[in-house]
């Protein structure tokens, strides 16, 4: 659903959902401030759909006890073992990724090629 919304609409929807969760659990704003360690201004901004820092967002989620679902947003990837990294062909392990070079027309011209 969020992919069809603008960033501002997503912020407003998240603020609306947070307020609904807070009311459903019977949590007061004061209790949320204490549980999450977030300031009143940051919470008010978030409720109104205004941007807040990621740190304040995490504090708000901690206050309403919704921090665990945040973990599923970016799944943890098991790192490849060092032995598997060494055994992989060197040509398949790029050290850098660069843009392809644009060939200069004059550089491609050589005398005697006319």
pLDDT, tens digit only, all 114 positions of the chain: 889 999 999 999 999 999 999 999 899 988 988 888 999 899 999 999 999 999 999 999 999 989 899 888 888 877 777 777 666 656 565 667 777 776 655 566 666 655
* Host domain of residue 38: 28-68
Residue 95 lies in a domain: no
In a domain, 64, yes or no: yes
Residue 15 lies inside a defined structural domain of this protein: no
Is 2:10 a contact under the CB 8 Å cutoff? yes
Count CA atoms within 13 Å of residue 54 on its CB side. 1
Number of domains in the chain: 1
């Amino acid at each position: 659903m969020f992919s069809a919304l603008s960033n501002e609409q997503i912020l407003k929807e998240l603020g609306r959902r947070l307020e609904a969760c807070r009311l459903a659990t019977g949590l007061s704003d004061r209790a949320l401030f204490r549980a999450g360690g977030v300031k009143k201004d940051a919470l008010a901004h978030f409720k109104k759909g205004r941007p807040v820092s990621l740190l304040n967002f995490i504090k708000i989620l901690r206050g309403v006890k919704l921090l665990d679902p945040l973990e599923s947003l970016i799944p943890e990837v098991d790192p490849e073992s060092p032995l598997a990294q060494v055994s992989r062909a060197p040509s398949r392990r790029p050290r850098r990724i660069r843009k392809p070079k644009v060939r200069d027309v004059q550089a491609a011209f050589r005398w005697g090629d006319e």
